[in-house]
């Protein structure tokens, strides 16, 4: 099963395209970030840019399933919350238009906990790199990968425990 995992953002969205099979751990096929050009200043244009890139991945990578980090409200960040809510809605709509199963949403803390990682973002990144012998440096990219692994473990039940030193990419 081909899965697209996202850490949605209107500035830099992390993504991971993963292959998941029953009784095997997920493999990262491709990962990175969708950078929103600084010339796009309106929220709607930023959302359109991200969704256009996501749709390209859905089509070109034969994506069957998707997960994104769920949004949460943080006091003092109302505009950021509203922008993410709109982006998440556009993401759901893009799936709906392609007659795909609606994407799942998992909170960052639930995803990190499912993998036995610290809840704090920077610590989780260090722990993930150490545990899975990777060298990811972009926190948005690694958050997407963590989302994908947690989705396989929590929702799909396809995940097998990864043996120490086993390669994931």
| Average pLDDT of span 80-85 | 90
What tokens were used for 85?
């809510």
The pLDDT, as a whole number, for residue 102 is 84
Quick check: is 165 in a domain?
no
How many domains in the chain? Answer: 1
Quick check: is 12 in a domain?
yes
**In Å, what is the CA distance from 37 to each residue of 43, 45, 122?**
12, 10, 25
DSSP secondary structure letters along 37-101: PTT--SHHHHHHHHHHHHHHHHHHTT--EEEEEPP---TT-HHHHHHHHHHHHHHHHHHHHTTPP
CATH number (domain holding residue 98): 3.30.420.10
Quick check: is 101 in a domain?
yes
Measured distance CA(151)–CA(145) in Å, rounded: 10
The pLDDT, as a whole number, for residue 24 is 74
Residue 167 has pLDDT above 60, yes or no: no
What tokens were used for 137?
């440096």
Nearest to 2 by CA among 29, 23, 31, 24: 29
Quick check: is 162 in a domain?
no
The pLDDT, as a whole number, for residue 101 is 81
Contact between 67 and 151 (Cβ < 8 Å): yes
Residue 165 has pLDDT above 70, yes or no: no
Quick check: is 32 in a domain?
yes
The pLDDT, as a whole number, for residue 164 is 46
Residue 75 has pLDDT above 70, yes or no: yes
The pLDDT, as a whole number, for residue 15 is 97
Quick check: is 168 in a domain?
no
- pLDDT tens-digit readout, 13-71: 999 999 988 767 789 999 999 999 999 888 899 999 999 999 999 999 999 999 999 98
DSSP state of 23: T
Quick check: is 129 in a domain?
yes
Quick check: is 52 in a domain?
yes
The pLDDT, as a whole number, for residue 53 is 95
- pLDDT tens-digit readout, 109-164: 999 998 899 988 889 999 999 988 889 999 999 999 999 999 988 877 655 554 44
The pLDDT, as a whole number, for residue 132 is 85
Measured distance CA(63)–CA(18) in Å, rounded: 9
- Domain range for 22 is 2-156
- Number of Cβ atoms within 10 Å of the Cβ of 147: 33
pTM over 0.85: yes
């Amino acid at each position: 099963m081909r899965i697209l995992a996202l850490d949605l953002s209107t500035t830099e969205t992390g993504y991971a395209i993963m292959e998941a099979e029953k009784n095997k751990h997920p493999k990262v096929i491709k990962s990175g970030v969708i950078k929103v050009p600084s010339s796009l200043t309106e929220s709607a244009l930023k959302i359109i840019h991200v969704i256009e890139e996501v749709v390209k991945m859905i089509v070109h990578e034969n994506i069957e399933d998707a997960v994104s980090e769920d949004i949460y409200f943080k006091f003092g960040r109302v505009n950021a919350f509203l922008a993410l809510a709109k982006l998440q809605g556009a993401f759901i709509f893009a799936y709906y238009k392609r007659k795909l199963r609606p994407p799942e949403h998992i909170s960052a803390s639930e995803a990190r906990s499912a993998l036995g990682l610290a809840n704090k973002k920077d610590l989780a990144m260090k722990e993930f790199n150490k545990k899975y012998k990777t060298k990811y440096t972009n926190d948005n990219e690694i958050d997407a990968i963590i989302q994908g692994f947690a989705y396989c473990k929590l929702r799909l039940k396809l995940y097998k425990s990864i043996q120490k030193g086993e390669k994931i990419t």
